[in-house]
Structure 1
């Protein structure tokens, strides 16, 4: 078989382990270099990313660059428009083939189509692979050959398709091999890059990465539970599995004061770990026990992987979700959108302890517990009567694991504007606090000025003026505001 000079373009797959496109490129190339493009449209702190996520990205790229060097080649970091830069790099190194793994966001799909067309006109071959989903979206259709719009039926079909493709009786999914040794550029090709305006990308101390990190104000890396880099992602998965935390996930996952989730959301979003490796980790735990409670807990965690793929499938099949609600009637909802209320919500100063604790966790750590994400989203939409799209954008500008499909799906679920068959769902923040933070431990951690308040008063929010210690009074009445919301909702129904 003839092998060619090739480029592998990293995107949401910042790893060597179980990287389908990278393995195929390494197998079929006589020489191979890697590239990552810092695309300004995906690094917009006003819309598409956060400082926490940029920190995770930058640190992960530093490790990935070292892993390319260990294997005998290089990862170049470019900064600018991928449509121009991928083509220019291919010309400089005389690359005949360009490999990448497919992405599912509307902007990326359109961008990749333009790049593929440009490379094809230049007589270069493009090879793309599905890597970030366990099941190919084209295979998950209803009996009427339509995309699923409800999670339950989607999950059942998803599991059925996985069961068909599992590689062994122990329920593991086949993963790709890890490229061990690569052949990089020769001196002539290196010289062509050094003599071009791409020369700043050639060393393992890429100027682009260090500029990304040095200009970043996110400094709470010790508080962020998501750890960047492939090696840390594997450690976090192994810790979650082998410590037995996954075995109690069914109930403990809803308690924000506990460290009982995997914290792999950012790793899955940027691809420092693969979804297949994560699935296999869960199966290892499941195969090691016959305890029904533990098995149910593991299955609950697996369903979170299915939720991730459900939302990605939804965005692939309904790209208009990026812009607005699935339920069109929400386009006519008369949002109040009070700027002072939105600011209080974002700063954790609403006077509702569980809301403020969650928003302060986000502000300080770049991450928020999933139960709390649902509580604060419901509060913004159905108590403050603020357009869910403002909350969705706020999260994307704040979260270390901000992901368009998951973030949009979660906000539409909370806002009742999405595909959820139970559209009217309102969370009472005080009941949620009593149920999931019954000792007030989570609230006290993130709102230390209330640490002296008795637990019943802390959970109910009934705090006297003398005890507040500068903590604000509630900006709204939950009962009154949700009554207004229900009336407005009934009018658009």
Structure 2
């Protein structure tokens, strides 16, 4: 009997899964395998929210496989060692997996390839499983990657994507290959109270509902903080419970401004991955240095703590940071505002903010998180690196009646707009009655500090 192993990583679904389709076409039986890689834990890539969401995803994937006569085999340890053990137990000669696009994933994939080839086994790595367009597919004539999004998108948007693969009808798994019990969300401590449910079934329900009620208005409402009409696909894209290829196909088929805007956001994911694949050091180092003398955790401890806990005195910033802790997720506009406030208004090293986001965000991944932070900090691909987002102007534009602020900052529940965005302007007893801090910095002072620092570094 010919057996293949399908190694799941960030592609925890059965719909549109090329590795599974290839393995089933080539084999009599497959071993669907997920390894809880101890190197991921050691690197700090699985904080509580993502560990809990992952548990949901694995349980859902196992249930879907069992509906088709199969099951998920879960192992823990070093990924290469565990894959090789399963390959030996199953007497498999082919291993199929999705391509990763970080330096960590590339090193792990190369280690696995060498170990398997030394044992006479073959590793097949499938592109366009976790992204719509893999890094290296779209390149400029004179460089190895695009450093500006718009010309990248022009070429990206002209590509014909691979067709969507149907889910398997039946999956046969060798009975003698065993795994450990599935992890459970309830066993994970420190999880955000309102963390969304994970898994392909939850992702597909969200996709179906959004296509019916949200997509057409996406371009008009996605920046409205209180309306919260963004797709919230990002956790499912991060864990691969939804396919970026399928989303692009469906959006292009439907058409309209909302669909076009969603496709553009999906292209941003691929853009960041092609930047990081070409410049893996950008996960930690400035992509385009401005020679900043950032304030550190040692020199700005009080300001950083106020930002992390949602006590800066700027209501829209505090609302967003509290949403992050409560849901493990944050509205995209709010991400831009909080990042700009930390990096430019407080002039704190962007890496501190990126690390805080990576700890709490269920959709936190290296490419999107680090490069979005660099974009906001002015060290990345933004063509206007010195732009500063004013939290008051932005709040009045994207939360004009203060609904978003009052939702997350209950101290201001009884304050009407516009005072809810500037509570320090309240007079006498009204201000004294609020258990809410004064601003950690005046916006004009923060802007002056940032501009002076950038000027000195020129």
Instruction: Tell me what 1:30 maps to.
Output: 28
2:451 aligned with 1:491: no
Aligned residue for 1:43, secondary structure, equals helix
> Contact between 1:31 and 1:184, CA under 8 Å: does it hold in 2?
yes
| 1:47–1:393 Cα contact (<8 Å) kept | no
1:275 aligned partner: 244
Match of 1:56 in 2: 53
2:423 counterpart of 1:454: no
Matching residue of 2:146: 148
Q: Give 1:94-109 correspondences, 5 Å limit.
A: 94-109=91-106
Aligned match of 2:77:
80
1:275-294 to 2 correspondence within 5 Å? Answer: 275-286=244-255
Contact 1:439–1:455, Cα closer than 8 Å, also in 2: yes
Is 2:240 the counterpart of 1:242?
Answer: no
Of the three residues 270, 275, 279, the one matched with 1:314 is 275
The answer on 1:301 being equivalent to 2:262 is: yes
Does 2:360 match 1:405?
A: no
Residue aligning to 1:6: 4
Structure 2: gaps spanning 5 or more residues: none
Paired positions, count: 452
**How much has 1:441 moved relative to structure 2?**
0.1
- Is 1:323 paired with 2:291? no
Alpha-carbon offset, residue 14 of structure 1 = 0.3
Deviation sequence 1:309-342 (CA, Å, 0-9, x none): 1001111111111121101333x42425411111
SS in 1 for 2:64: helix
1:178 maps to: 167
Measured in 2, the distance between the counterparts of 1:378 and 1:300 equals: 23
Cα pair 1:237 1:281 within 8 Å, conserved:
no
Per the alignment, residue 260 of structure 1 pairs with 229
Q: CA deviation at 1:138?
A: 2.3
The answer for the alignment partner of 1:123 in structure 2 is: 120
RMSD: 1.7
CA distance in 1, matches of 2:186, 2:150: 41
Q: Which runs of 5+ in 1 are unaligned?
A: 167-172, 194-198, 287-294
Residue 92 of structure 1 is aligned with which of 81, 84, 89? 89
- TM-score between both structures, scaled by the size of structure 2: 0.95
Secondary structure at the aligned position of 1:137 is classed as coil
Higher mean alpha-carbon deviation, 361-370 vs 63-72, is at 63-72
Contact 1:392 1:407 in 2 (8 A): yes
Q: How far apart are residue 219 of structure 1 and its match?
A: 5.0
Rounded Cα–Cα distance in structure 1 between residues aligned with 2:345 and 2:220: 27
Partners of 1:367 and 1:86 in 2: how far apart? 32
Moved beyond 4 Å, runs of 4+:
none
Q: Is the 8 A contact 2:228 2:331 kept in 1?
A: no
Q: Deviations over 1:422-446 (max 9, x none)?
A: 1111011111100100000000000
- Alignment check: 8 A CA contact 1:50 1:399 kept: no
Separation in 1 of the partners of 2:8 and 2:249?
23
- State the shift of 1:419 in Å: 1.6
Shift of 1:407: 0.5
| 1:216 match | 189
Structure 2 distance, partners of 1:219, 1:407, is 19
Counterparts of 1:421 and 1:370 in 2: how far apart (Å)?
Answer: 20
Alpha carbons of 1:50 and 1:461: their partners in 2 closer, same or farther (altered >3 Å)?
farther
Q: How does 1:129-208 map to 2 (within 5 A)?
A: 129-130=126-127, 131-160=129-158, 162=159, 165=160, 174-186=163-175, 189-190=176-177, 193=178, 201=180, 206-207=181-182
TM-score normalised by structure 1 residue count:
0.88
SS in 1 for 2:455: helix
Measure how far apart 1:449 and its partner are.
1.3
Could you report, residue by residue, the CA deviation over 1:102-129 in whole angstroms, capped at 9, with x for unpaired residues? 1111111101100110011011111110
Say if 1:228 and 1:267, in contact at 8 Å, map to a contact too: yes
Looking at structure 2, the residues matched to 458 and 47 of structure 1 have their Cα atoms a distance apart, in angstroms, of 38
Q: Cα–Cα, structure 1 residues 476 and 284, in superposed 2: closer, same or farther, change >3 Å? A: same
The corresponding residue for 1:68 is: 65
Instruction: Determine helix, strand or coil for the equivalent of 2:418.
Output: helix
Q: Offset at 1:352?
A: 0.8
